Amino acid sequence: MNETELQELTESISITYFHKKFIHKAIFNTRLRTTGGRYLLKSHNIEINPKYLAQGLEEIIGIIKHELCHYHLHIEGRGYKHRDSEFRELLSKVGAPRFCTPLQTTVRKKKTLVYQCRACMFIYKRHRRMDPSKYVCGKCGGKIKLVS
């Protein structure tokens, strides 16, 4: 899907579900990370996260409906924020989701470094690297070495 198809889809959803025209731009924004889309208050444009295309057209349609709720309520001067009752009523009326499903991001596992005292063999587990020559054991005062 390219941006002209996104614009046409947004305009057709606006006419079908809201019975109002969408006269601004709907574009993809690759910089969005934690959200499916956003409505810009100053320019009245809608930005969509292109990563949600992989989850299917239904997910994109839900995101567009949600952002159009913000759009039409803001244009009319009504409560367009998530906490406003008018916004929640319009969401349920058009069948738009309140939140989009989270993306499956790659979760990086933190590397655990293991240090050990040479005298008493006490083990220290750390996530951040440290210089063992600058520190001593807190239990006995012995020297510390990196195990793994």
Binding residues for Zn(2+) are: 66, 70
User: Cα separation of 76 and 6, whole Å?
Assistant: 24
Which residues belong to the annotated binding site?
66, 70
Output b/e per residue, 80-119; b: 16+ Cβ within 10 A.
Answer: beeeeeebeebbeebebeeebeeeeeeeeeeeeeebbbee
| Pair of tokens at residue 104 | 């499956």
Q: Is 67 part of the annotated catalytic residue set?
A: yes
Catalytic-labelled residue, pool 5, 67, 86, 89: 67
- Indicate which residues carry an active-site annotation: 67
